[in-house]
Structure 1
Amino acid sequence: MKKLKEYILSTIGVAIVAFGLEYFFFPLDIAAGGVSGLALAINQLIDINPSVLVFIFNFILFALAFFLIGGSFGAKSIYATIMMSVIMWVFESFFEPKAITDNLFLACVFGSAVLALGTAITFYQDASTGGTSIIAKIINKYFHLPIGQGLLLADCTVTLLAIYSFGIEKGLFGLLSATLIGILVDKFIAGLNPVKQVFIITNKEKLVVDFINNDIDRGCTILTGKGGYTKEDMTIVYTVLTSKQFITLKQFIKNKNPEAFLTVSESTEALGKGFADY
């Protein structure tokens, strides 16, 4: 059941990516790096649907990866790569996609957000859509260039080709979109499993721990500390909660242990019992 859920979510993710490409980027010739941007630029030179070009380029890249770096790519990545080409082909063949907006700036911003969301959902299932990440891994193995720099090099090459195909203005919008997608993907991934780390310094350890364990149904860890100024021994309760659970705990502390000292910080992910699986 877990595997099925991962494949369903991967399909949703690549469908969102395909939608962003077909309804925001491709109609306005915005090549935001990657294989999709390369396909769009090449489409200006040879009359082949971008979906077909994406499939061909990814097939070539996966084949190169297999022979040059051992092909350490999971079944989910291969599945996601194929599904994205299939969904793009469905859009192009049956829906005749047209730009949602003719404003380049709006298409750049909102298209980047849509692509980043779909990419984040796909990445979160431990899958990817191939593309320039494969090129980056090949460059890393043979030229010892960090993967991040390899990705940047590959995407910049696509952007230069886009400038040649569509002009400087659209090429720069493509570069801006690639940058926005890179930033937003991390933000969306962090938002898929948001939790809060909470430290409570309290003199009512049992009261607080019992509430966390029994009322909120969460675990906690009891630490011992010593006041830097008072030199007094103290108890510190550490726990990880969802935002809703934290609000419940904060209200309880306010009512039952107002002298407690509480700190909270955002955590981008929590894995293990009670949270997401590894």
Structure 2
Amino acid sequence: MNTFFSIHELKNYAFIIVGSVFLALAVVGFFAPSELITGGTAGLALLIHYITNLTIGSIIVLINLPLILLGIKFLGKMFAVRTIITIILISVFIDFLTQIIHLKPFIIDDALGAIFGGICVGIGLAFIIKGESTAGGSTILAKIISSKTELKPGQVILVIDSMIIFSSLFILEDTGKVLWSIISIYITAKVIDVMLTGNLNKKVVYLVTQKTDLFKELIRNELGPQGTIIKGDGLFDNEDKKMILIVVKVDKLQKLRELVKKNDPEGFLIITEATEMLGRGH
């Protein structure tokens, strides 16, 4: 069981602090100066800030407070504590950068602000996720809605972020800024994926063929990866089937396609993403 001051928790808080700093820098250094929008409560806070000129940090706290109270029963005790700490840190860092040290914008340009702001948000959220926390807001709401419906949390977050971006059309009255904000959210998602799962330059390949012995030798000699032969039955004809499962580097995929086309035109090839690999032999 993790305690508040255990090594595991201290490591989580370190990740959360680093992530909160990156999020604050993204908002203050890139998004706010260019009047761009990001997703989640930070994006909603930016919209309200553009209208009311209230401090972004205080708006984030006000938005998240009822959501924390609403969602706390759906979260574990430590998870809830981490989320509250994360929200407070993000708010404090944003107001510190704007109100205390008066940080100057890193750049005032829609394109560069969207790109580098999206990268910073992605890095920040990835660290926060590694710290077993969330930035609050849409994630909490997504957990509640997904627990009561058949929707996945990611789908709920996408809907919420889309609503925030759509609302910005009426507030910013600048289609260009809205489009760059959408690009920024996409960049954020890709950065999170790379940081959490790694930028694996490999694909998972499934090859269904009657010539498994032949392809076993061809793959070993031509491509070199290790693999597994899976035995099964055909769904409709109930015949014995064999499938080769291998992990292949992207630059060797075309060679594999050529081998299948040349040696077994009837072979069935499926190629999917390898988002994460654990263990030896790869």
The TM-score bracket by the shorter chain reads: 0.5 to 0.7
Q: Does 1:75 align with 2:81?
A: yes
What is the alpha-carbon root mean square deviation over aligned residues?
3.2
1:8 corresponds in structure 2 to: 14
The letter of the residue matching 1:60 is: P
Change (3 A) 1:184 1:228: same
Give the structure-2-normalised TM-score.
0.66
1:231 to partner: Cα distance: 9.9
| Length, aligned pairs only | 216
The letter of the residue matching 1:70 is: F
1:187 corresponds in structure 2 to: 194
Taking the TM superposition and a 5 Å limit, the aligned residue runs for 1:194-209 are: none
Structure 2 gap segments, 5+ residues each: 1-6, 203-211, 218-224, 227-245, 250-273
Post-superposition Cα deviations, 1:221-266, rounded to whole Å, max 9, x if no partner, equal xxxxxx924999xxxx98xxxxxxxxxxxxxxxxxxxxxxx98767
Change (3 A) 1:142 1:13: same
Taking the TM superposition and a 5 Å limit, the aligned residue runs for 1:1-278 are: 1-66=7-72, 70-72=74-76, 73-167=79-173, 168-191=175-198, 228-229=213-214, 268=276, 270=278
Distance in 2 (alpha carbons) for counterparts of 1:230 and 1:8: 49
1:5 to partner: Cα distance: 2.3
Distance in 2 (alpha carbons) for counterparts of 1:82 and 1:89: 11
- Aligned-partner SS, 2:151: coil
Aligned partners of 2:19 and 2:128 also within 8 Å: yes
- Aligned-partner SS, 2:167: helix
Aligned partners of 1:6 and 1:125 also within 8 Å: yes
The letter of the residue matching 1:189 is: L
Give the structure-1-normalised TM-score.
0.67
Post-superposition Cα deviations, 1:87-143, rounded to whole Å, max 9, x if no partner, equal 112111112233212221011011111110111111112111112111222322344
Aligned partners of 2:57 and 2:92 also within 8 Å: yes
1:44 to partner: Cα distance: 2.3
Change (3 A) 1:195 1:164: closer
- Aligned-partner SS, 2:136: coil
Change (3 A) 1:264 1:173: closer
Change (3 A) 1:161 1:4: same
Change (3 A) 1:134 1:113: same
Post-superposition Cα deviations, 1:60-99, rounded to whole Å, max 9, x if no partner, equal 2111213xx6344442222212211111121111122332
1:147 to partner: Cα distance: 1.6
The letter of the residue matching 2:132 is: D
Change (3 A) 1:267 1:35: closer
Percentage of matched positions with identical amino acids: 24
1:154 to partner: Cα distance: 0.4
Structure 1 gap segments, 5+ residues each: 197-226, 239-261, 272-278
